[in-house]
Amino acid sequence: MLKQHHLNNNLLNQIRYQVEILEVHNPKLARLLCKLIPSHCPFERTVSILGRTLFHIPPLCKINPLYEQIISLCYKCLLYLVDECGEDATKYC
Protein backbone atom coordinates (compact mmCIF):
# COMPACT_ATOMS: atom_id res chain seq x y z
CA MET A 1 0.00 0.00 0.00
CA LEU A 2 2.78 2.42 0.89
CA LYS A 3 4.62 1.62 -2.35
CA GLN A 4 1.51 2.42 -4.43
CA HIS A 5 1.12 5.78 -2.67
CA HIS A 6 4.81 6.50 -3.25
CA LEU A 7 4.50 5.66 -6.96
CA ASN A 8 1.40 7.83 -7.34
CA ASN A 9 3.16 10.71 -5.60
CA ASN A 10 6.23 10.36 -7.84
CA LEU A 11 4.05 10.30 -10.95
CA LEU A 12 2.14 13.37 -9.80
CA ASN A 13 5.38 15.21 -9.05
CA GLN A 14 6.74 14.29 -12.48
CA ILE A 15 3.59 15.61 -14.17
CA ARG A 16 3.80 18.81 -12.12
CA TYR A 17 7.41 19.25 -13.15
CA GLN A 18 6.63 18.68 -16.84
CA VAL A 19 3.85 21.28 -16.77
CA GLU A 20 6.06 23.76 -14.88
CA ILE A 21 8.90 23.62 -17.41
CA LEU A 22 6.67 24.10 -20.46
CA GLU A 23 7.63 27.16 -22.45
CA VAL A 24 5.26 29.01 -24.72
CA HIS A 25 6.51 30.01 -28.18
CA ASN A 26 3.39 29.59 -30.31
CA PRO A 27 0.66 32.26 -30.38
CA LYS A 28 -2.06 29.83 -31.48
CA LEU A 29 -1.27 27.45 -28.63
CA ALA A 30 -1.07 30.35 -26.16
CA ARG A 31 -4.49 31.64 -27.25
CA LEU A 32 -6.00 28.16 -27.07
CA LEU A 33 -4.67 27.53 -23.56
CA CYS A 34 -5.88 30.95 -22.38
CA LYS A 35 -9.36 30.10 -23.67
CA LEU A 36 -9.38 26.59 -22.17
CA ILE A 37 -7.99 27.46 -18.73
CA PRO A 38 -10.51 29.54 -16.77
CA SER A 39 -9.17 32.71 -15.15
CA HIS A 40 -11.18 31.97 -12.01
CA CYS A 41 -12.57 28.87 -10.40
CA PRO A 42 -16.03 28.33 -11.91
CA PHE A 43 -17.34 26.17 -9.06
CA GLU A 44 -17.16 28.52 -6.08
CA ARG A 45 -20.64 29.53 -4.88
CA THR A 46 -22.30 31.16 -1.92
CA VAL A 47 -25.91 30.04 -1.49
CA SER A 48 -28.13 32.71 0.05
CA ILE A 49 -31.85 33.10 0.66
CA LEU A 50 -33.40 36.42 1.65
CA GLY A 51 -29.98 37.92 2.24
CA ARG A 52 -28.84 35.16 4.61
CA THR A 53 -25.97 32.95 3.62
CA LEU A 54 -26.96 29.32 3.95
CA PHE A 55 -23.65 27.78 2.96
CA HIS A 56 -20.55 28.36 0.91
CA ILE A 57 -19.09 25.92 -1.62
CA PRO A 58 -15.32 26.49 -1.67
CA PRO A 59 -13.39 26.77 -4.92
CA LEU A 60 -13.06 23.12 -5.87
CA CYS A 61 -10.30 23.93 -8.35
CA LYS A 62 -7.89 24.31 -5.48
CA ILE A 63 -8.19 20.65 -4.57
CA ASN A 64 -6.88 19.81 -8.04
CA PRO A 65 -3.30 18.62 -7.46
CA LEU A 66 -2.18 20.39 -10.66
CA TYR A 67 -4.04 23.65 -10.03
CA GLU A 68 -0.96 25.81 -9.35
CA GLN A 69 0.89 24.48 -12.38
CA ILE A 70 -2.09 24.97 -14.71
CA ILE A 71 -2.65 28.54 -13.52
CA SER A 72 1.07 29.21 -13.92
CA LEU A 73 0.93 27.88 -17.49
CA CYS A 74 -2.00 30.17 -18.26
CA TYR A 75 -0.03 33.10 -16.84
CA LYS A 76 2.96 32.20 -19.05
CA CYS A 77 0.63 32.17 -22.06
CA LEU A 78 -0.80 35.56 -21.16
CA LEU A 79 2.68 37.04 -20.71
CA TYR A 80 3.76 35.62 -24.06
CA LEU A 81 0.74 37.07 -25.84
CA VAL A 82 1.26 40.49 -24.26
CA ASP A 83 5.06 40.74 -24.36
CA GLU A 84 5.89 38.89 -27.58
CA CYS A 85 2.72 39.29 -29.67
CA GLY A 86 1.54 42.70 -28.43
CA GLU A 87 -1.98 41.43 -27.72
CA ASP A 88 -4.46 42.70 -25.16
CA ALA A 89 -4.86 40.00 -22.52
CA THR A 90 -8.06 41.41 -20.99
CA LYS A 91 -10.21 39.31 -23.33
CA TYR A 92 -8.94 36.20 -21.55
CA CYS A 93 -9.61 37.47 -18.03
pLDDT of residue 4: 62
Domain extent, residue 42, equals 2-92
Whether the predicted pLDDT of 88 surpasses 90: yes
- The pLDDT tens digits for 33-61 are 999 998 887 778 899 999 999 998 888 88
Number of folded domains that form the chain:
1
- CA angle (35 as vertex; 34, 37 as ends), nearest 5: 65
Calculate mean pLDDT across residues 21-28: 96
Q: Residue 69's closest CA among 14, 6, 30, 27?
A: 14
pTM: 0.75
pLDDT of residue 33: 96
